[in-house]
Amino acid sequence: MQQLMVHEVTSRSSTSTAELEYSSEANVSPNSRVYVSKAHDVMTNVIAKGSAMRQDAVNKAKAFDEKHQFRANASARINSFDKRVGLSEKINNGISIVNERVKSVDQILHVSHKTMAALLAAERKLNDTGSAVKTNRYVSAGTSSLNGAFSKVAKAGHVAGSRTREKFQLAMSNLTAKGPAVVA
C-alpha cells in the first residue's frame, strides 16, 4: 500500500518535468531526458525520506528528553555550579578589564583612527575599480549569459524543491501512520 502511494506521488510529480526547459539542448535524445527524470525522482525520494527520518528521530529524542529531563537537570546543575564558583562573574570582570586596556592602548596609539583612514582609502579605490568594471562590455556580456544560466538552475531547483516537498510530506505521513514509537 505504501509503495503504491509513493508510486502515485512519483507519477504525479514526473508530469512536472515538462516544466523544465530543454529548448537550448536541441541535440539531447528523449531517452536521456527519461534517465535524467528518473534520476531526479530517485534523488527527491531519497532526500524526502531522509528528511522524514531525521524529523522522526528529532521528535523521538525530544520525547525521550522530556520524559527523563536530561536537559533540564543539566541546566540546573550548571546554574548551581556557576552560583557556587562565580564563574560567569569572573569572566565578565575579565572581559571588562581587557576592554579597558584595549581602549587605553587605542588612545595612546590612535589605532582606530588610522584604521578608519586606511579603510576609507581602500573604499575609494574599490569604487573607482568597480565603475571601470561596470562599463566594460565583456563584463556585461558575461553577466547576461550567467544570468540566463542562473535562471535555468533556479527553475530546475524550484521544480526539485516542490517534488521533494511532496515526497517529504508523504514520507512523514507514512511514518506517523505506523504509530508512535515507544520511548524508554
- For the segment 19-45, the average pLDDT, to the nearest whole number, is 71
pTM: 0.41
Per the prediction, the chain carries an average pLDDT of 80
**What is the predicted pLDDT for the residue at 172?**
84
Task: Quick: pLDDT tens for 44-58.
Answer: 899 999 999 999 999
Mean pLDDT calculated for residue range 167-183? 74
For residue range 66-101, list pLDDT tens digits in order: 999 999 999 999 999 989 999 899 999 999 999 999
pLDDT value, residue 181: 53
pLDDT tens for 141-155 read 888 888 888 888 888
More confident residue, 17 or 170: 170
Confidence of residue 168 (pLDDT cuts 50, 70, 90): confident
Q: Tell me what pLDDT residue 56 has.
A: 92
Nearest to 169 by CA among 51, 41, 60: 51
Q: Which residue has the higher pLDDT, 4 or 118?
A: 118
What is the per-residue pLDDT for 16? Answer: 43
Residue 10 pLDDT exceeds 50: no
